[in-house]
């Protein structure tokens, strides 16, 4: 039986760890050839090795999605190694939270850039490749669907105190998604978004002691939810717990397979029934 994504090329930003890694592994398990990206080369290489060990194909395009020229390099990696672009998952990102009166311009722009500007630049860089392929296929009388899945959040659909930068970026992603679905429908590209609710990752996991931080381009960013807050949140989730990265990846996968070929311009909340 042929895998659902056999031979398709898929770019997954932020796929060296967490949800992104699980998305890359899920797509690879169905035959997709993956361009793995992470801010750091080592975790990206680890994901690529996991894919190769399961019999799949993967190449690494390491670096920040906000770097000048990254989008062209990312798309180029798919074209050079796999001959084209079939699936784009805009997943890379992190949080840098505080209330508005304490938020610096740097903090605002950093989160807008990684969650909203970078996906825009990646899709803009992909347009000539996708357009040329779609025109060639149309001339041959073939209908080939491609997929874009943008990652949003319930902070973007309902807002969240202390996350004005993140919530604004994730709300913007939904607007970007709906617009690109209209612009790229003529190319047979399905553009959808998945808005995650509480998912257990290093960005949400409460530290055993002290503060949990991650390093992003030389900055130490505090992450992790207070254990009591996480517990309270779980009681508000109808399914009774936070989600796993594997479950988050499953929601993205639904928008990448042929069964979703007539779904576009939509967003689905993957949050166990939890909404803000």
Report, as residue numbers or ranges, the catalytic residues. 166
Residue 201: burial class (beta carbons within 10 Å; 0-12, 13-18, 19+) = buried
Tell me the longest C-alpha to C-alpha distance in the chain. Answer: 61
Residue 59: burial class (beta carbons within 10 Å; 0-12, 13-18, 19+) = middle
Give Cβ neighbours of residue 270 (< 8 Å, ≥ 6 apart): 194, 195, 196, 197, 199, 243, 247, 248, 251
CA angle 86, 90, 95 (to 5 degrees): 170
Q: Strand ranges (DSSP E) for 109-211?
A: 146-153, 189-196
Phi/psi of residue 206, nearest 5 degrees: -75, 130
Tokens, residue 201: 């990752």
3-state secondary structure of 10: strand
């Amino acid at each position: 039986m042929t895998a659902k994504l056999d031979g398709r090329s898929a770019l997954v930003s932020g796929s060296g760890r967490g949800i992104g890694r699980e998305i890359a592994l899920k797509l690879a398990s169905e035959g997709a050839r993956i361009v793995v990206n992470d801010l750091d080369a080592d975790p990206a290489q680890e994901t690529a090795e996991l894919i190769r060990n399961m019999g799949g194909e993967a190449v690494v395009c390491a670096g920040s999605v906000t770097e000048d020229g990254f989008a062209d390099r990312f798309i180029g990696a798919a074209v050079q190694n796999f001959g084209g672009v079939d699936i784009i998952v805009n997943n890379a990102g992190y949080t840098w939270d505080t209330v508005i009166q304490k938020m610096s311009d740097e903090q605002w722009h950093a989160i807008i850039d990684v969650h909203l500007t970078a996906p825009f630049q990646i899709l803009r860089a992909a347009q000539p490749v996708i357009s040329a392929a779609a025109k060639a296929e149309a001339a041959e009388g073939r209908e080939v669907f491609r997929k874009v899945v943008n990652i949003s959040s319930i902070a973007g659909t309902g807002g969240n105190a202390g996350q004005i930068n993140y919530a604004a970026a994730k709300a913007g992603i939904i607007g970007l998604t709906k617009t690109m679905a209209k612009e790229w429908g003529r190319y047979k590209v399905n553009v959808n978004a998945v808005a995650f609710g509480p998912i257990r990752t290093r960005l949400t996991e409460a530290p055993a002691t002290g503060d949990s931080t991650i390093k992003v381009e030389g900055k130490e960013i505090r992450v992790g939810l207070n254990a009591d807050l996480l517990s309270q949140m779980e009681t508000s989730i109808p399914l009774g717990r936070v989600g796993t990265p594997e479950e988050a990846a499953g929601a993205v996968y639904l928008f990448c397979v042929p069964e979703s070929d007539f779904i576009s311009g939509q967003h689905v909340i993957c949050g166990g029934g939890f909404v803000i």
